[in-house]
Structure 1
């Protein structure tokens, strides 16, 4: 079962950087961007995270929290966050609970072999906890600006 536009997103709690646990229901009243990336410290994921980092003041102004999610362990996430000076938390989803909720684990090809991995995806949740917009199979260039525009539009409408 996957999340659907206009429907409430099931609550979840997951371990995150900064020795925190992120619980979706605790963020009610704010919009939430949940972006999934395949692996910490890889080129595309570093670029995407950097774009979110650089636009964070604009997301803050649009009442929007940013959360990055991958299957990396907490130590890898902490290192990635520190090295890239990310100003938002990264969720460690080793057991794929959050990935499953958003249905982002897909069969991918690498070097001619199939494996299960995270499809780069982003979800915008409104301040009432409902899914407002989703982007799947994301290409990094220009993506964060598109998400920011949607967050600003949603915030202005609420």
Structure 2
């Protein structure tokens, strides 16, 4: 069950990332795109990360930071960042604490079996720490452009 609500402040959290601890204080004062993805180095997740990477300057010009989240380890994230030249941190959430907070854990069908995994989702948080937009169960093509346009319209 999600604890985040549009128009409300993000609940307090603290999570380990490839760039140190990420918490509410780190989100204050700038726009934040927090995106949840299933797994490092898989086709859709790699494309999504590359799309954010390729538009990082446009997001930065709007004072917007990008932060990715999956259940992968910090070591896996580090390898993914190095391989894809990602200019933003990735949060490791193996205990699914942040995933549960944002309500992104879902039952999915993989090769005919039900598995529990992260539903690809993106959240836009304003400089005051308020959730202003969410995209759940999204498709990768065109998504980053949509997020960038939303930030442009809101900033």
Q: TM-score, normalised by structure 2?
A: 0.97
Matches within 5 A, 1:143-158: 143-155=143-155
Report Cα offsets for 1:91-148 as digits up to 9, x if no partner.
0000111101100000000011101000000000011101000000110000000000
Question: How large is the RMSD of aligned CA atoms in angstroms?
Answer: 0.8
Q: TM-score, normalised by structure 1?
A: 0.95
Helix, strand or coil at the partner of 2:55: helix
Q: Which residue of 2 aligns with 1:51?
A: 51
Give the Cα–Cα distance (whole angstroms) in 1 for the partners of residues 144 and 26 of structure 2.
Answer: 24
Deviation of the 1:5 alpha carbon? 0.7
Q: Which residue of 1 aligns with 2:62?
A: 62
Give the Cα–Cα distance (whole angstroms) in 2 for the partners of residues 13 and 64 of structure 1.
Answer: 19
Deviation of the 1:32 alpha carbon? 0.6
Deviation of the 1:23 alpha carbon? 1.3
Helix, strand or coil at the partner of 2:129: coil
Q: Which residue of 2 aligns with 1:85?
A: 85
Matches within 5 A, 1:27-38: 27-38=27-38
